[in-house]
Amino acid sequence: MSEARARFEAQVQPLLPRLHRLCLTLCRDKQEAEDLLQDALVRAFLHQASYQQRGSFFGWLCGIVRNQFIETRRSAARRRSLLDSVLEGASSVLGSLFTGGTDVKDPEAQVCSSQEAELMMRCLHALPEKFRLVVLLCDVEELGYDEVSAALGIPVGTVKSRHFRGRAQLGAAFKEQLAQPPQAVSAGGRS
């Protein structure tokens, strides 16, 4: 292993749980979150010279994860559009053979290893993205407003405002989830 990569991996290692949670919060699917984390870390590694030490390393990585997420989502939207066009043409030749292949998520699929964490993740996903990220960084990762502001590239006042509104929505979403009848959830994580 080269010295540069060893140093980068050593820097990233303690931050992996937080970055992983950030990806899980952004994506609605575990596999997608893992792909996002990998792409973002590779990008960070290849462009590590651009980290100017002005803010925290974690904040810099958060920015890369967020940008990678936006870019991946745009690419996926373009690909879907392309695929729709092809399927439309194909279905005109083969009838309805291709029309049933929509991407339906498995409602039983868990992204977290404990049911409590899974419940919180479902509540976070109920929030609009701009509130979700701020609540995650403030309440789960316990970052200060200044750090969140730097990580997301938004003013501190906006962070506070989003935190306030996001927290209120999270509390409401949580109460709503608790009021629902319990669902059978497949076991995951450690035995």
Contacts (CB under 8 A) with another protein, residues 172-191: 174-175, 178, 190-191
Q: Are 190 and 151 in contact (CB under 8 A)?
A: no
Per CB under 8 A, does 120 bind another protein? yes
C-beta contacts of 124-129 below 8 A and 24+ residues apart: 124/25, 124/170, 125/25, 125/28, 126/169, 126/173, 127/166, 127/169, 127/170, 127/173, 129/26
Per CB under 8 A, does 21 bind another protein? yes
Name the residue nearer to another protein (CB basis): 114 or 183. Answer: 114
Query: Where do contacts with another protein occur on this chain (CB under 8 A)?
Result: 1-2, 4-5, 8-9, 13-14, 16-17, 20-21, 24, 34, 37-39, 41-43, 45-47, 75, 78-79, 81-82, 85-86, 88-90, 92-94, 112-114, 116-117, 119-121, 123, 138-141, 157, 160-161, 163-164, 166-168, 170-171, 174-175, 178, 190-191
